[in-house]
């Protein structure tokens, strides 16, 4: 992501993009044979940075203010030399999750517009350089070149300029800006594909959701990022270091973006899982109350929304996995299918995590209600036990409180002491039996 320059035109911003350094993530190369800990306890082919020597560049205060305390996580990439390259965030503590925060859909109006446009060689996969939107048509006249346009919170004017430059379908533009858009993939002919993916980000104790719209053609790929999402600068850096993969064209960039979005679902599910375990411990403590049940319900609502965000992405992956050259995208390279199978595998991990949390949450809520019922039953048992004990003197007092003239035992000299001893004996006997049974 590049610093925003709101008072400059597009050409001036393009020049500034070359002058200002972008935020760099940690680049860690780990041997496949290393013994490392899986961060999500899901698969041994995902790694944590706990046992790795991390080398990273310092980030300026200006860049940190621009990007915020985000967690840029890109998952893993397997190289031919037997190593795994992991993209991880700088050492910034992750935000805490607040179950009472509302589900937030971020929508912006182009106030912080950022635009990047790069050209790449299809033969070598190397980056040719940054270009202006005005020069796109000239670059696309060369069949050996494709361009990657990245837009964040674009204005309507910029969108119209991009639409004219790439001849984008009007309905696709409308869907790109539709609120609460469901993840989907559509083809508009001429090797043109439109993809919408929902993004999620945990920030300031709130899970925020955004949308990324992707237009892909034979010679271009355009990403329009709106709302809450992580910067795609790490994705661009990743692709720049893989020119041999960029020879596949825009389809590899599409895979990299989808993989980045899906991999960022997992930290959120992990945070929700930790919060759920905290609530489970609260259930069995002596201080649990209705607030615990409210937290569990709010967490349930968040998981339902999270699942609605993740599940439709599977249809997108299956579209490219099962695609044939004779279908909607004649130029789709068959070499790209394994990459989308990898994305689908990561997606299944996130989906399984959400489904597992849903089941655990249902069990936790049932357990909570069972604990509440047990507490109520405990109170009822104690009340019943004391009622049984007090029934003895009540019954005796009621009998001898009747106004009969002929009650011979009342005239006995020791009748009072005998009756009192009888009452105490019965009461202590009942107390002993109730205490032994656990009712008192």
Query: What does the DSSP 8-state code read for residue 55?
Result: B
Q: Which two tokens stand for residue 298?
A: 């709010």
Q: The domain spanning residue 430 has which CATH number? A: 1.20.58
| 286 belongs to a structural domain | yes
| 131 belongs to a structural domain | yes
The answer to whether residue 301 scores a pLDDT higher than 70 is: yes
| Whether residue 164 sits in one domain with residue 286 | yes
Domain count for the chain, please give it: 2
| 134 belongs to a structural domain | yes
| 175 belongs to a structural domain | yes
Last residue of a domain, one of 311, 346, 368: 368
Q: Do 124 and 198 contact (CB within 8 A), yes or no?
A: no
Q: Which of 94, 47, 46 is nearest to 71 (CA)?
A: 94
Q: The domain spanning residue 85 has which CATH number? A: 3.30.460.20
Q: Which of 112, 352, 85 is nearest to 231 (CA)?
A: 112
| Whether residue 330 sits in one domain with residue 384 | no
| Whether residue 169 sits in one domain with residue 309 | yes
Average pLDDT over residues 290-296: 81
Q: Do 28 and 52 contact (CB within 8 A), yes or no?
A: yes
pLDDT digits (tens, 9 = 90+) for 41-74: 333 333 333 333 333 333 343 333 344 433 333 3
| Whether residue 176 sits in one domain with residue 85 | yes
Mean pLDDT of the chain: 73
332 band by pLDDT with thresholds 50, 70 and 90: low
Give pLDDT, residue 391: 92
| Whether residue 385 sits in one domain with residue 361 | no
Distance CA 82, CA 403 (A): 102
| 4 belongs to a structural domain | no
pLDDT digits (tens, 9 = 90+) for 162-207: 888 888 888 888 877 776 678 888 887 667 889 999 998 887 667 8
| Whether residue 269 sits in one domain with residue 169 | yes
| 322 belongs to a structural domain | yes
Q: Which two tokens stand for residue 359?
A: 């089941």
| Whether residue 174 sits in one domain with residue 126 | yes
Distance CA 250, CA 195 (A): 13
Distance CA 63, CA 66 (A): 5
| Whether residue 161 sits in one domain with residue 90 | yes
Question: What's the whole-model pTM score?
Answer: 0.64
pLDDT digits (tens, 9 = 90+) for 106-143: 444 545 566 788 999 888 888 888 888 778 888 888 88
| 282 belongs to a structural domain | yes
Q: Do 377 and 432 contact (CB within 8 A), yes or no?
A: no
Last residue of a domain, one of 368, 387, 412: 368
The answer to whether residue 438 scores a pLDDT higher than 50 is: yes
Last residue of a domain, one of 347, 368, 389: 368
| 385 belongs to a structural domain | yes
| Whether residue 47 sits in one domain with residue 166 | yes
* Domain boundaries, position 224: 10-368
| Whether residue 385 sits in one domain with residue 363 | no
Average pLDDT over residues 196-225: 86
- Reading phi first (left if > 0) and then psi (alpha if -120 to 50, else beta), residue 119 is in beta
Q: Do 323 and 332 contact (CB within 8 A), yes or no?
A: yes
348 band by pLDDT with thresholds 50, 70 and 90: very high
| Whether residue 386 sits in one domain with residue 285 | no
| Whether residue 31 sits in one domain with residue 154 | yes
């Amino acid at each position: 992501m590049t610093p925003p320059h709101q008072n400059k035109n597009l050409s001036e911003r393009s020049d500034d993009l070359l002058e200002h350094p972008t935020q760099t993530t940690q680049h860690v190369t780990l041997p496949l044979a290393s013994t490392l800990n899986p961060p999500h306890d899901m698969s041994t082919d995902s790694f944590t940075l706990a046992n790795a020597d991390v080398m990273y560049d310092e980030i300026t205060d200006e860049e940190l203010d621009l990007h915020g305390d985000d967690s840029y996580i890109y998952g893993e990439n397997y190289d031919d030399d037997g190593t795994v390259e992991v993209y991880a965030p700088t050492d910034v503590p992750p935000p805490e999750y607040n179950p009472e925060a509302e589900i937030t859909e971020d929508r912006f109006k182009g106030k912080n517009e950022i635009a990047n446009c790069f050209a790449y060689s299809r033969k070598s996969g190397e980056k040719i350089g940054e270009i202006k939107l005005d020069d796109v048509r000239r670059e696309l006249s060369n069949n050996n070149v494709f361009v990657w346009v990245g837009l964040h919170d674009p204005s309507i004017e910029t969108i119209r300029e991009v639409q004219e430059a790439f001849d984008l379908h009007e309905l696709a533009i409308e869907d790109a800006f539709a609120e609460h858009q469901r993840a989907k993939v559509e083809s508009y002919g001429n090797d043109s594909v439109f993809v919408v993916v929902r993004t999620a980000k945990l920030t300031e104790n709130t899970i925020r959701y955004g949308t990324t719209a992707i237009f892909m053609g034979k010679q271009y790929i355009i990403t329009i990022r709106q709302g809450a999402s992580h910067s795609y600068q790490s994705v661009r850096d990743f692709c720049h270091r893989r020119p041999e993969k960029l020879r596949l064209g825009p389809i590899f960039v599409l895979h990299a973006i989808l993989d980045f979005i899906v991999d960022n679902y997992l930290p959120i599910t992990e945070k929700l899982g930790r919060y759920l375990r905290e609530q489970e411990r609260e259930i069995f403590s002596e201080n649990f109350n209705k607030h615990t049940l409210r937290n569990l319900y709010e967490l349930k609502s968040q998981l339902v929304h999270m699942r609605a965000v993740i599940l439709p992405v599977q249809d997108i992956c299956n579209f490219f996995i099962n695609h044939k050259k004779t279908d909607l995208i004649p130029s789709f390279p068959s070499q790209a299918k394994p990459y989308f199978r990898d994305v689908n595998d990561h997606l299944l991990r996130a989906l399984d995590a959400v489904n597992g949390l849903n089941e655990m949450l249902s069990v936790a809520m049932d357990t909570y209600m069972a604990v509440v019922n047990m507490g109520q039953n405990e109170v009822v048992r104690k009340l019943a036990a004391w009622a049984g004990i007090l029934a003895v003197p009540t019954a005796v007092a009621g009998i001898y409180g009747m106004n009969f003239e002929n009650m011979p035992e009342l005239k006995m000299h020791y009748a009072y002491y005998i009756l009192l001893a009888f009452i105490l004996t019965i009461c202590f006997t009942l107390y002993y039996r109730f205490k032994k049974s656990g009712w008192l």
